[in-house]
Amino acid sequence: MRYALLFPGQGSQRIGMGSDFRRLSPKAVALFDAASRMLGYDLPELCQNGPIERLSETQFTQPALFVASCAGLECLREMAEVRPFAVAGHSVGEYAALYAAGSFSFEVGLALVRERARLMQVAAQQRPGAMAAILGLDAEGVEECCRRAAPQGLVTVANLNSPGQVVVSGEEAGVSAATELAREAGAKRAVRLQVSGGFHSPLMDGAGEALAEAVANADLRDPDPGVVANVTARYCRSGKEVAANLRQQISGAVRWEASMRVLERDGVEQVFEIGAGNVLVGLMRRISPGIPAMAVDSEESLMAAGAALRCDD
């Protein structure tokens, strides 16, 4: 069976995330403990008990998601031989995908995620912004709304998630104008996202430039298998490409639908979303309903995924 591993991004965090992984696997416990030492706070306590308001702050959300995804992956590796055809991650989830592909160690990945989250938080404070999901309007229609809204304030397409789900990001006035224009153009809904900034927009350019130094100093190896990168929707197969993609990713659009089309084109027969929640499973069902998608975020789903992979051995 040709399968891919997917890793979720911001918005998938929830109270209790990673708890089953820690209960089932000493390796998962070790990753959470190592993360707590690196981060300087009790990550298992935050993930288990919250509060959700703190867990949803960018500086805490991104490390928590990375660690939960890595812990889930290690649980799965203890149950079966994990040999994906490809991996991909949505926004910060791309860091877990790179860990899965051996592009960097857990410690290097967590250090980069911690710095990314810090820089994005700072950028959001310096240049405040907003994000909104436009539902029921195609990408071209949303892009036109952004162009027409530009005189009101900076706004751009941030996430091309699936057919009929496009996220815009930018300055408050620009996002407000774009969402109103989208409604007039026939969008079914325009939903504000509960985020602290205008992520994946030029408001994050400063964060990307600052992250470049950390990326340049990191030990990055060629990923194996290939990682379908957010900013290009193409396979990334070298450490040099990894560095370039991570620098661009903070302010560039997440081309998720196009990334999943690459997997579909190349004959992927199953995808597993590892970490927290099932957002990417839902997107895959809208993008490629013929490809079975399974969320791996609990004991029950972990056992099912492990059984599926053992049958494939």
Q: What is the DSSP pairing of strand 270-274 with strand 235-236?
A: unpaired
Cα angle: 109, vertex 77, 239; to 5 degrees = 35
Helix intervals (H) in the chain: 19-24, 26-39, 43-49, 52-55, 58-79, 93-100, 106-126, 139-149, 172-184, 205-217, 239-249, 256-265, 279-287, 299-312
Paired tokens of 261: 């089309």
Task: Report residue 81: phi and psi, to 5°.
Answer: -75, 120
Longest dimension (CA), the chain: 57
Q: What is the DSSP pairing of strand 130-135 with strand 189-192?
A: antiparallel
Rounded CA-CA distance 209/231 in Å is: 16
User: Strand pairing partners for 4?
Assistant: 86, 271
Torsion angle defined by CA atoms of residues 286, 236, 116 and 18, in that order, rounded to the nearest 10 degrees? 60
- Who contacts 26 (Cβ-Cβ below 8 Å, separation ≥6)? none
Amino acid at 240: K
Give catalytic residue positions.
91, 200
Paired tokens of 175: 């996002």
Class of residue 23 by CB neighbours under 10 A (exposed 0-12, middle 13-18, buried 19+): exposed
Cα angle: 280, vertex 283, 287; to 5 degrees = 135
